[in-house]
Amino acid sequence: MLRADGVFQGGGVKATAFTGAICRLEEEGMMWQRLAGTSAGAIIAAFLAVGYRGKEIKKIMYELDYKKVGNMTAIKKFPLAKKSLGLILEKGIFSTTYIERYLEEAFKNKGKTKFKHISLNKESPLKIIASDVTNKRLLILPDDIKKYGIDPMELDIAKAVTMSISIPFFFTPIKIKYMDKEAFIVDGGITSNYPIWIFDVKDIPRWPTFGFKLGNGENLSRTIENKDFISYIMDVIETTIDSYDESYLRDKDKIRTISIPALGVKTTEFNISLETKEKLYKEGYEKADEFIKKWDFRKYIRSYRI
């Protein structure tokens, strides 16, 4: 049996690759202890936290109708005025209603819809990263939701995940009203797209933290074309979220990270084909296979924790 905490980077539709990695680790008897994620990585972490297995998550991700999530092909046909109106009135072009309801149903099928359903002694094994752009701060959910007068244990898991995936301007932000104030919550990738640090302790850990990260070299090579203003904004936001530089990863983080090539797929490429999904899944499986064959927890402890 293999025990570990799992941390999943944000990456939009590219997160399909994580299911391949999960399936490979489950072949080694993986038992997840704690889980965390940002944006699409939060979706994967949440599915695992409520009890789904890798193959089940793969099926759910494949059945998700991405065109209902965000159809960029259709939006590009809209007049600039219509797109601008959505940004001005709703602070985003696409609604998160479909994805939130989809997640709610998936969690309901496991009988675990609120954080209290997966927690022990009011401590959640699942941590979701989101960003409060009104107060300019990173949020770790469910813990930080108490800042808004909400009981962390009563927070819907689907709501927390939806907060984390709400890419600014692309999706309408989640608005929280508290006291006589309001705050807009958006994609966690704005503040921490790869929270590999979240379960670190000062002493020697009982088990490792495995990080799941999407390679971004091919994405960074894409140029921002001469487009209309709204499309330009989308590209700028996506570049900001996608361009987490691997050079910022410390050696102790690189060695515990399964880095999976993204095959040039963009975060908001919601017209992704089944063939591309399969390629991403295969990449995830193969990279996890390479990783687990080399992983040595004792060596990691000797090198980085003593």
Q: Please identify every residue annotated as catalytic.
A: 39, 187
- What tokens were used for 37? 């994620």
∠ CA(199), CA(203), CA(208), 5° rounding? 45
CA 47, CA 37: separation in Å to the nearest integer? 11
Q: Contact 241/165 with Cβ under 8 angstroms?
A: no
CA 26 to chain centre: 20
Give the residues across from 37 on adjacent strands: 8, 128
Rg (CA), the chain: 19
- What tokens were used for 115? 């954080």
Residue 220: is it exposed, middle or buried by C-beta count within 10 angstroms (0-12/13-18/19+)? exposed
CA 69, CA 73: separation in Å to the nearest integer? 12
Q: How far is CA 10 from CA 87, 103, 164, 207, 275, in A?
A: 23, 17, 9, 23, 21
